[in-house]
Amino acid sequence: MIQPKPRAIFALLALGWITLSLSFDLAAKSVSFITCPIARDVGPDSDICFVAEYQGKTYGLLDTNGYNRPMLKHKVLVEGEIIEDEQVCGATRIAGVISVMRYEISPECNQILPDDGSVVVKNNNLFLRIPEEQRKRAFRLMDEVAQNPESSLKEAILDPPPLPPVQPPFSEQTVDLHYPFNSKRSSSPELRKLLYLIHYFTFSGGHITVNTYQGASLLDNGTVMEEMQGMSQARANMFRELLTELGIDDENFSIQSHPTSVAATGVEDWKNRRVSVTLHPAH
Amino acid sequence: MSLINQLIAILTRGCFAALLFFCAGLINAEGQDSQWWSPGDDRIFPAFSEYENASGRFGIINTSGPIDTRNHPFFTATGSNGRACVTCHQPSDAMSLSVSTIQKRWQETNGKDPLFAAIDGSNCPSLPQGERESHSLLLEKGLIRIPMPWPPRPFNGKEVTPEFSIKVIRDPTGCNLDPQWGLNSENPAVSVFRRPRPVINIAHLMELPHGVAPFNTFFFNDAMPLPKGPDTGKPVPQQLMADGRGLTPKHQAKDAALTHLQMFENFTEEQLQQIEAFEKQLYGAQSYDKVAGDLTGKDSPPGLGPNALVISPKARLGNNPLNKNFGDFSIWTSVEDQAQTPQNEVSSFKASVARGASVFRDIRFYINDVGMYNDKGLGNPFKRSCGSGCHNTLSMGMDLSPGFMDIGLNNLPWQNQRSDLPLFKITCHEDVMPHAFLGREIYTHDPGRSLITGRCTDVGATMTQQMRGLAARAPYFVGGASANLRELVDFYDRRFNIGYTEQEKVDLVNFMRTL
């Protein structure tokens, strides 16, 4: 019989403790709450960023589902996970979805923290967001400006190349579009995915099915918030108009609204506020 | 080589001055009064022309070459009131209409010019015509009456159900309570009063935006597909009008034909094509400044002068380190930096313009509580400069991903209460999304975009406009609230609590007057 060495036992115990701690932490990392956002100024050359106080701690708010920043004068519903090792706006990040409570005005949500130099935000100018080749071209044009000032009127950012044709065999394509609470405004990144699906459809043909949902959110304090009655139908109506305007004929798509709010669990409830679009290719 | 190519070649070779002299001579040969262009004047619209204004001269490049305006629908009185398009879109006023021109015209014609037609050149058609008081909004603020049907008509092929009720709180013109023209008349209408927009650089305004996908397909306000021009069936960027009711030049012309021109029958398709072609071939900007001198050629920043609009790519983001919104101004920065001799008025002014371009581009401030802007994902506040925020389009200064927004030009409390304009109370229905910052009860001088869409969120919202030819077309803003560029800067400074220094304000004004 092999006797376990004390060091190994200790290691096993430690591992078990870490595993338990991690699983406990993972469960605890999902948060859902409503609060006033706080704006933080981070210097004369940077955008505002946002934090929120929750259970005595400050968290940085960064929406992962598009370009959806908090607004002063309104509360926000924060649904996400605490990312302990990531800092946003000088505070531990909550990664998830930020919903501005647009139907109510909350004048008390009006705090802006002045720039104290403690938060440094990386420069995110347009040149850093374009492809490397374009960036080099832009910098080359900047170098030319001293000799030829007219270079400063040349386009710095080029149009992306057209999407390439889609070749068979075609496969089923699905795009989920998610919405802030009580909203039917689609986010830019998800609209780009939808445009690709429609591009795909122009080659594959077939039928597009759209399912629209509305959701509820279980807050950490036990409150369940349901979206307004009719949100699913509003999203369905919006999508019918959207697809028609994008040139999809009526017979090529069908829309089903699911009017009952999907039950809330307190974890990723935001995923229930969605429109699910599936393309079934003709062949 | 076509005439326009020759013209552009001449301009870019720096022989601008000679051409300028030649063309200006053509215009000025008729004397100062020839700046007013009456319908049926039957003049030649030259390939290049210049027109005097208080700061210098406004230049127009007509890229198709000289055209004979005889019987041209833009220049011919086709309606029953003697007006033509040119009546309210004067070349001398950057194809808009300044108050100084309006007042001069009143004096010259004793108020008899068709410009002062009862239908919308007076505060209300029911008022005694020919008396100054009856035309006070046009004479003092340059405002044309726009009767908007209530409830809104179907727009873009869709029925509109208004999300709010509207009540007249104050009616200094009498038109909104008028039994024949008001809200309770047989044809209910909301009379609002707006400045005519400049019909210049239209090719830039009609280009779908580049580099901001997916907003070349979707509209920023509601993330829905851009509307399609009724005459083209193609998506349009909605930059033409303050409220977006005219989607293309033809669409706008058809609307104007029946309202402003009081035509009994609309333009023919051929006439509409002529109008659209003419509008799209004009490029304009201030070409000469009384202090700085010539704004074109190799000694001036490349973004100044009308040729900048010809060579500049259309509908591109300008808020980047290369484009700097209106191009590079360092040629005038160095005037100050390199001058070892005492500064003179010219070099000081040029340096001020260059600093103004930097202020416009670089000084960030909190853009807060702007309806249909901060609430579209940008956050409240959003910290940007003029040039990196709402005026980000290269060479033009309008908003590239355009949205109708309420910065406080029409709605209280940001707008000063004006005793000359009607005041409406908007009450939004309980079940609709309210205005993001004003809620469900809004007091406004002009409900703006909401008179088209019927949406509560759109109350008071209007479209950002281009910044060219400012020196030629005061007063500014949709309701003519700012009599001059300094008042315009002061409005922004107060509205957004920017805290510009006196020098920065002066620099901004100098910069804008050269555009």
Residue B104: strand, helix, or coil: helix
Dump the DSSP string for B265-307. SPPPHHHHHHHHHHHHTEEEEEEEETTTEE-SSTTS-TTSSTH
In chain B, what residues touch A146 (CB-CB under 8 Å)? 330
Residue of B nearest to A42 (CA): B383
Dump the DSSP string for B280-291. HTEEEEEEEETT
The predicted complex's ipTM stands at 0.90
pTM of the predicted model, to two decimals?
A: 0.91
Dump the DSSP string for B6-69. HHHHHHHTT-HHHHHHHHHHHHHTT-GGGGS--TT---EE-SEEEEEETTEEEEEEETT--EE-
Check residue A2 and give its pLDDT. Answer: 42
CB B370 within 8 A of CB B378: no
Check residue B271 and give its pLDDT. Answer: 98
CB B244 within 8 A of CB B404: yes
Which two tokens mark A108? 């008390």
Residue A138: strand, helix, or coil: helix
Main-chain dihedrals φ then ψ at residue B191, nearest 5 degrees: -90, 120
Residue of A nearest to B12 (CA): A150
CB A51 within 8 A of CB A61: yes
CB B424 within 8 A of CB B167: yes
Nearest to B316 among A157, A238, A245 (CB): A157
Main-chain dihedrals φ then ψ at residue B376, nearest 5 degrees: -105, 35
In chain B, what residues touch A149 (CB-CB under 8 Å)? 301-302, 327-328, 330-331
Q: Which residues pair with B167 in a beta bridge?
A: B425
Q: Where are the alpha helices (DSSP H) in A145-279?
A: 188-204, 231-245
CB contact under 8 A, A69 and B331: no
CB contact under 8 A, A50 and B218: no
Residue of A nearest to B389 (CA): A47
Nearest to A149 among B211, B301, B312 (CB): B301
Domain A30-113: give its CATH code: 2.40.50
- In the block, residue with structure tokens 């940085």: A60
Check residue B414 and give its pLDDT. Answer: 86
Question: How far does the CA of residue B482 sit from the closest CA of chain A (Å)?
Answer: 28
Dump the DSSP string for B179-207. TTTSTTSSS-EEEEEEPPPP-SSHHHHTS
Which residues in chain A show pLDDT less than 50? 1-4, 9-10, 12-28
The secondary structure of residue B134, as a DSSP letter, is: G
- In the block, residue with structure tokens 């909301």: B190
> What does each of the 515 residues of chain B score in pLDDT, given as a tens digit?
344 444 544 444 344 433 443 444 344 334 445 699 999 999 999 999 999 999 999 999 999 999 999 999 999 999 999 999 999 999 999 999 999 999 999 999 999 999 999 999 999 999 999 999 999 999 999 999 999 999 999 887 788 999 999 999 999 999 999 999 999 999 999 999 999 999 999 999 999 999 898 999 999 889 999 999 998 999 999 999 999 999 999 999 999 999 999 999 999 999 999 999 999 999 999 999 999 999 998 999 999 999 999 999 999 999 999 999 999 999 998 655 555 555 689 999 999 999 999 999 999 999 999 999 999 889 999 999 999 999 999 999 999 987 899 999 999 998 778 999 999 999 999 999 999 999 999 999 999 999 999 999 999 999 999 999 999 999 999 999 999 999 999 999 999 999 999 999 999 999 999 99
CB contact under 8 A, B323 and A153: yes
CB B479 within 8 A of CB B414: no
CB contact under 8 A, B301 and A138: no
HEC string of A17-82 equals HHHHHHHHHHHHHEEEEEECCEEECCCCCCCCEEEEEECCEEEEEEECCCCCCCECCCCEEEEEEE
Check residue B428 and give its pLDDT. Answer: 98
CB contact under 8 A, B437 and A73: yes
Q: How far apart are CA A88 and CA B515, in angstroms?
A: 40
The residue of B201, B212, B380, B453 whose CB has the most chain A CBs within 10 angstroms, and thus the best one to mutate to test that interface, is B380
CB B277 within 8 A of CB B206: no
In chain B, what residues touch A46 (CB-CB under 8 Å)? 383
Long-range contacts from B134-141, C-beta under 8 angstroms, 24+ separation:
B135/B106, B135/B111, B136/B420, B137/B173, B137/B193, B137/B420, B137/B421, B138/B102, B139/B99, B139/B102, B139/B103, B139/B106, B140/B99, B140/B420, B141/B99, B141/B193, B141/B195, B141/B420, B141/B475, B141/B479, B141/B480, B141/B481
CB contact under 8 A, A127 and B380: no
CB contact under 8 A, A153 and B364: no
Instruction: Report the top-level CATH class of A173-280.
Output: alpha beta
In chain B, what residues touch A245 (CB-CB under 8 Å)? 224-225, 228
